[in-house]
Chains A and B, each alone.
Chain A
Amino acid sequence: MAQPAPKPAAAGAKVIPIKEDSLYESEKKIYARSVSGTFANWRWILVWITQAIFYGLCWLEWNGRQAVLFDIVERKFYLFGLVFWPQDVFYLAVLLIISALALFLFTAVAGRLFCGYACPQTVYTEIFMWVEKLFEGDRAARMKLDAAPLTADKLARKAGKHAVWVAIGLWTGFTFVGYFTPIKTLAASFAGWQLGPWETFWIFFYGFATWGNAGFMREQVCKYMCPYARFQGVMFDPDTLIVTYDAERGEPRGARSKKVDYKAAGKGDCVDCGICVQVCPTGIDIRNGLQYECIGCSACIDACDQVMDKMAYPRGLIRYSTEHALAEHWGRKEIVAHILRPRTLLYGAILSAIVIAAVTGLTLRQPLKVDVIRDRATLAREVEGGLIENVYRLQVMNLAEAPRRFALSVTGLEGIQIVTERVVEAPPASTQAVAVRVRVNPEAGKRGSNPIHFEVRALNHDEVFVREKASFLLP
């Protein structure tokens, strides 16, 4: 039933607009100016390294197969010499814990290093902005172009940019899918236009996401979508390295003529040129202090250093520093000395402990797993000679990348024996299911369930050995 809309409280009463915290508002587009300098070079080095790994690793061969492959169809993960099965999900959990701890540690030491240099969002944005600059020019040219009416030239520039963006996006999508289905088969079916529907779909899906995130969303992803951006603050402390503006040195800011002594005129080192704001990919003014939007990309450091050089002032008005260092006028030595502090030591200790445990576990891991399942249909039956027979299903998983032969035996009751085939042949990295019949004299145990053990040992590899518990039913 439609309700009559309640009348506003009193005619003429002023309605006070509620100011909503606007997330994802249609913000002013940010035209980041390109920078060059030490940190920009570092970022490009990391772009090259991360992308060489991402685009290249999937083509690497190992033992005659793809070196790194999360084969979801076969449900096996290959990581160089290691093969992981769904049963190894424990190691996946450990890997996640290690990554999280490493992130905590890095963040405590040097803030958002990951964001500024290695996060895919930053890396692809950097690549896409480079393409954009190629077609549309730097900040001022781009602003002019966007404001200009549509001409053939504008259309050609925009189309060119998007063509390259889409190409990079699709290549990224293809590579991404290539980590989940063998990339060589993928490439072959692509060449023959025979991609499966789902593969095609995911390539386009991921390609579209890359194009959208790096081309359009950009800083919005960091500001509004990234959970890390929201909680990284809690890992900071006054000794964390962050991008800071030295307000003591810079203020009062202001334009000046090179001819007068600005210090005598009561001015600080900041010439208020606003370049640090123009280069900032998230569009903030670092001179207002540390803000959660700052991804620690150091573009403003590079930019301001150039301004300082031009003015012949010492560099580092904006620099990597810590809250303590700024307050106490510490130099590099004291900052470095404060890297080791209870918080980082604790993170470091936990991290190393887990890494050592995981590596030990991996080296000691048996390349063999056995699951024993009782046959539910036939519990126990009497066979010739008064013996009692139980039937089991043994899943023998050969994790090694070589064919193996395994010997089966059973212990736990006197005279207990396997009467079926006692050798299992398993091809490399495969699971063999065998039905095993076991017989024993009923006098050997008590009525009901008796504990027994299956032993599986690799022939010619005595150290590969697994003992699995099971129960034998006597009527």
Chain B
Amino acid sequence: MKRLIWILWPSFVVAGIAEAVFFTLIDPQELYLFGEPVQYSRAATYSIGFFAFWALCAASSAFTCFLQTGSRELNRCTPPQA
């Protein structure tokens, strides 16, 4: 749970900023997808764009989380008995 929030929350914030900056500068109707102009409505493009940003940022957060695994966990030491 803790990790999930670590991954999802910062990426949500950054995705929000990225979305705002990206779509202020670029009109979704001027985008091309696989060489074709984007067909979706603007509302759909914004929403899909947001989730794409979120997913990308979450991937980055997840990677950070993964690299933070301590040596203990990697060495698979027996967990301490409580």
Shortest A269–chain B CB gap in Å is 41
Shortest B48–chain A CB gap in Å is 9
B1 & A26 in contact (Cβ 8 Å cutoff): yes
B70 & A22 in contact (Cβ 8 Å cutoff): no
CA A225 to CA B75, docked complex, whole Å: 31
CA A22 to CA B47, docked complex, whole Å: 34
B2 & A72 in contact (Cβ 8 Å cutoff): no
B43 & A73 in contact (Cβ 8 Å cutoff): yes
Residue of B nearest to A205 (CB): B47
Shortest A66–chain B CB gap in Å is 17
Question: Quick one: given A5-B76, A6-B75, A75-B27, are A198 and B2 in contact (CB under 8 Å)?
Answer: no
Asked if A201 CB lies within 8 Å of chain B CBs, one says: yes
Q: Which residues of A contact B27 (CB under 8 A)?
A: 75, 86
Asked if A148 CB lies within 8 Å of chain B CBs, one says: no
A198 & B76 in contact (Cβ 8 Å cutoff): no
List A residues 67-90 near B (Cβ within 8 Å). 72-73, 75, 86, 89
Q: Which residues of B contact A26 (CB under 8 A)?
A: 1
Shortest B70–chain A CB gap in Å is 7
Most A CB atoms within 10 A — which of B2, B41, B78? B2
Q: Which residues of A contact B79 (CB under 8 A)?
A: 15
Residue of A nearest to B27 (CB): A75
Asked if B25 CB lies within 8 Å of chain A CBs, one says: yes
B6 & A23 in contact (Cβ 8 Å cutoff): yes
CA A199 to CA B41, docked complex, whole Å: 12
- Cβ contact of B42, chosen from A6, A72, A224, cutoff 8 A: A72
A73 & B25 in contact (Cβ 8 Å cutoff): no
- Cβ contact of B77, chosen from A15, A23, A73, A92, cutoff 8 A: A15
Asked if A18 CB lies within 8 Å of chain B CBs, one says: yes
Shortest B81–chain A CB gap in Å is 8
Residue of B nearest to A14 (CB): B80
B80 & A6 in contact (Cβ 8 Å cutoff): no
Residue of A nearest to B26 (CB): A86
List A residues 185-235 near B (Cβ within 8 Å). 196, 198-199, 201-202, 224-225, 227
B43 & A24 in contact (Cβ 8 Å cutoff): no
Residue of B nearest to A74 (CB): B42
- Cβ contact of B9, chosen from A25, A201, A225, cutoff 8 A: A225
A15 & B80 in contact (Cβ 8 Å cutoff): yes
A202 & B24 in contact (Cβ 8 Å cutoff): no
Question: Quick one: given A5-B76, A86-B25, A89-B25, are A72 and B46 in contact (CB under 8 Å)?
Answer: yes
Question: Quick one: given A17-B80, A72-B42, A86-B24, are A198 and B47 in contact (CB under 8 Å)?
Answer: yes
Complex interface bits, A258-281 against B, C-beta within 8 A gives 1, otherwise 0? 000000000000000000000000
List B residues 42-72 near A (Cβ within 8 Å). 42-44, 46-47, 70, 72
Complex interface bits, A1-45 against B, C-beta within 8 A gives 1, otherwise 0? 000011010000001111000111110000000000000000000
CA A22 to CA B3, docked complex, whole Å: 11
- Cβ contact of A24, chosen from B5, B76, B81, B82, cutoff 8 A: B5
Q: Which residues of A contact B72 (CB under 8 A)?
A: 18
Question: Quick one: given A89-B25, A198-B47, are A15 and B78 in contact (CB under 8 Å)?
Answer: yes
Complex interface bits, B1-34 against A, C-beta within 8 A gives 1, otherwise 0? 1100110010001000000000111010000000
Q: Which residues of B contact A22 (CB under 8 A)?
A: 2
Shortest A139–chain B CB gap in Å is 26
B43 & A23 in contact (Cβ 8 Å cutoff): no
Shortest B1–chain A CB gap in Å is 6
Q: Which residues of A contact B42 (CB under 8 A)?
A: 72-73, 75
Residue of B nearest to A72 (CB): B46
Question: Quick one: given A73-B41, A201-B47, A225-B9, are A8 and B77 in contact (CB under 8 Å)?
Answer: yes
Q: Which residues of A contact B6 (CB under 8 A)?
A: 23-24
B43 & A8 in contact (Cβ 8 Å cutoff): no
Q: Which residues of A contact B78 (CB under 8 A)?
A: 8, 15
A196 & B43 in contact (Cβ 8 Å cutoff): yes
Q: Which residues of A contact B5 (CB under 8 A)?
A: 24, 224-225
- The 6 lowest CB-CB distance pairs between A and B, nearest first, are A17-B80, A24-B2, A5-B76, A15-B80, A198-B43, A73-B42
Q: Which residues of chain A have a CB within 8 Å of any CB of chain B?
A: 5-6, 8, 15-18, 22-26, 72-73, 75, 86, 89, 92, 181, 196, 198-199, 201-202, 224-225, 227
Task: Show 15 A/B contacts (Cβ-Cβ < 8 Å), sorted by A.
Answer: A6-B77, A8-B77, A8-B78, A18-B70, A24-B2, A24-B6, A26-B1, A72-B42, A72-B43, A72-B46, A89-B25, A198-B41, A198-B47, A202-B47, A224-B5
Extra inter-chain contacts (4) besides given A89-B25, A181-B43, A196-B43, CB under 8 Å: A15-B79, A73-B43, A89-B24, A227-B13
